[in-house]
Copies of this chain bind each other. A is one copy, B any other.
Amino acid sequence: MRTNRDNNGPPPAEDNKQRILQAALREFTERGLDGARVERIAESAGVNKALLYYYYSSKENLFSSVIDEHFRMILPLIRKTLEDTSDPETALRQVAAVYAELSQRHPEFIRLLVRELAQPDSPMVVRAAETMKESGVPGQLRRLLSEGQAKGTIREFDLRQAAVSFITMNLGYFIMAPIVDRVLQIDDRKQFISERIQANVDLFLRGITT
């Protein structure tokens, strides 16, 4: 019988509660809420099923906890965007960079979110929208573009469309990578992503300037 006390591999400071959360994250990412199995999570965390209920009371609640935990981790990343910037190019680059970082440091978050996108009113989707809104990114983006238009450096167009375009061309790749990588035979995803930021900023900037 393997308990989680006599193991030597995993970090010793991590207690069972955390290990369950990590295992749950893996399972939910891989299979979604419905496809996930409580048994598998417990086993993968090296604990008894009942302990999972002791800490998290239900599968759904565990799922929420996983999502909560993720938003907690992601928030600082999102918040630092657009700090003290009034230059559109810098701002755009920051936004693009944050999405890229998010996708690379928290790929499971993206996968969880993608699955939830299939259910438009899923709590996670609602929350993601709120988080984005609260981050101030879209607002600030529109403000900068608006100012540019006033100054005449940026041409006239629908700001919302442009904002959507910039966000989707940046986030979109991370979501559609499984398809895009196959279609365009992108093998070195790391390299591709790093080049992507500059390419998107360039394209967008040229697209909007007068």
Give me the interface of A with B, judged by CB distance under 8 Å: 29-35, 111-112, 114-115, 117-122, 125-126, 128-130, 132-133, 138, 157-158, 160-165, 167-169, 171-173, 175-180, 182-184, 186, 192, 195-196, 199-200, 202-208
Do A164 and B175 touch (CB < 8 A)?
Answer: no
A196 and chain B: residue at smallest CB distance? B161
Asked whether A172 lies within 8 Å of B176 as measured between CB atoms, the reply is: yes
**Interface SS of chain A:** helix
- 8 tightest A-B contacts by CB? A168-B172, A172-B172, A207-B207, A129-B182, A34-B34, A161-B199, A120-B178, A34-B35
- A112 to B115 CA separation, bound complex (whole angstroms): 9
CB < 8 Å: which of B34, B118, B126, B162 contacts A199? Answer: B162
Interface contact B207-A117, CB-CB below 8 Å = no
